[in-house]
Structure 1
Amino acid sequence: MTTLPAYTVDVRRLEEFSARDLYAMLKMRVDVFVVEQKCPYPELDGNDPDCLHLRLLDGETLLACARLWRPTPDMHPRIGRVTVSPDHRGKRLGEALMREAISECEKAYPGEAIELSAQSHLEKFYGSFGFVPISEEYLEDDIPHVDMLRAVCGPASAP
């Protein structure tokens, strides 16, 4: 069994990042979502200023990150841009990142269900955190996705 590396959790708004830390986070997202997944789409979509950004760090090294949307009248709080650094995969950081993201959403928006748009091949992974599909499969940027919802409940259980 792979041992989860030690990490610290950092949650902040976009304007609170240093230029260097912001660059590292955005670079990792582009490296994974655009380059690795061969998906040319506007990663810098204009939504980052309205979200909280969660990072898992080992000292100054960015291990993983996610974007946390606040609720709106049409949407529950939402977890997105979930990614683990390619250099740190296979260490259960995706699971740690999701536990932290769910915890942060529950702290910031108590009593709210949580949504996400999952790449379809990750439906079982997100399901292990209590997310259930709420849409049919659809294509987003030529990648199959499904919308998922986690009902209001206690803390996330470890998969």
Structure 2
Amino acid sequence: MTDAPEIHITGKQLLAMQPGQVHALYKLRVDIFVNEQQTTFAEIDDADADPGTHHILAYVHPGHAPDFRWGTPDPGSPLKLVGTARVFGPPEEQQIGRLCVHQDFRGYGFARQIVENSLEVARGRAAALDPTLQKAVVKIDAQVATEPFYASYGFEPVGDAFTVEGIEHQEMHLTLD
């Protein structure tokens, strides 16, 4: 696509976020996972607030025009949260989850940038492991429709597909080098 908005990616622990950031994070995830995908599971869970969980936050600047070309800014911020993911779990068995991009911002490659950033975080967390004794694995419970996307990073299916809230998923693993 042409004329793509510029994305700014950062990451934080939930407890280090401002209230407006937490609100934007949860609103985006609920809008996508609960409303758009019509699921009823508890979107907000204890993994979010765990001190070891790193939230990837992808923002765009809505622009300076009155019509806010790229949407309305989030409360208390000149930026708009358009994508997110989280990395959690012990360094030897991390998980990437809750990857989502606002529907108005799909097709710009933002999901790819978020996954790349998530894998950087996972590699950084795994750097403390002894590579001769321990392997670092990153897991994803991918929606089956997104399996080729994750396979492009080297993730491989593990076990049989399973259903969560009517959506078929496949556990996938990537061993970090």
Same fold (TM over 0.5): yes
User: Does residue 104 of the first structure (1) align with residue 128 of the second (2)?
Assistant: no
Distance 1:46 1:141 in 2: 19
| Aligned length, in residue pairs | 151
Pick closer, same or farther for the CA change 1:29–1:129 going to 2, 3 Å. same
Residue of structure 1 equivalent to 2:81? 62
Q: Which stretches in structure 1 are left out of the alignment for 5+ residues?
A: 154-159
Please give the residue correspondences for 1:42-61 in structure 2 after superposition, counting only pairs within 5 Å.
42-50=42-50, 51-59=53-61, 60-61=79-80
Residue of structure 1 equivalent to 2:94? 77
What is the Cα deviation at residue 4 of structure 1?
A: 5.6
**Alignment counterpart, residue 160 of structure 2, candidates 136, 139, 149:** 136
> What is the SS of the residue equivalent to 2:160?
coil
**Alignment counterpart, residue 126 of structure 1, candidates 125, 150, 155:** 150
Distance 1:122 1:71 in 2: 25
Contact 1:2 / 1:92 at 8 angstroms: preserved in 2? no
Q: Which residue type is aligned with residue 89 of structure 2?
A: R
What is the Cα deviation at residue 6 of structure 1?
A: 2.3
Contact 2:86 / 2:98 at 8 angstroms: preserved in 1? yes
In our comparison, the structure showing a higher alpha carbon Rg is 2
Q: Which stretches in structure 2 are left out of the alignment for 5+ residues?
A: 62-78, 130-135
Contact 2:14 / 2:48 at 8 angstroms: preserved in 1? yes
Residue of structure 2 equivalent to 1:14? 14
Q: Deviations over 1:23-61 (max 9, x none)?
A: 001000000000000111110122211111111112411
What is the Cα deviation at residue 70 of structure 1?
A: 2.6
What is the Cα deviation at residue 3 of structure 1?
A: 6.6
> What is the SS of the residue equivalent to 1:91?
coil
User: Does residue 30 of the first structure (1) align with residue 16 of the second (2)?
Assistant: no
Q: Which residue type is aligned with residue 59 of structure 2?
A: L
Distance 2:30 2:38 in 1: 10
> What is the SS of the residue equivalent to 1:66?
strand
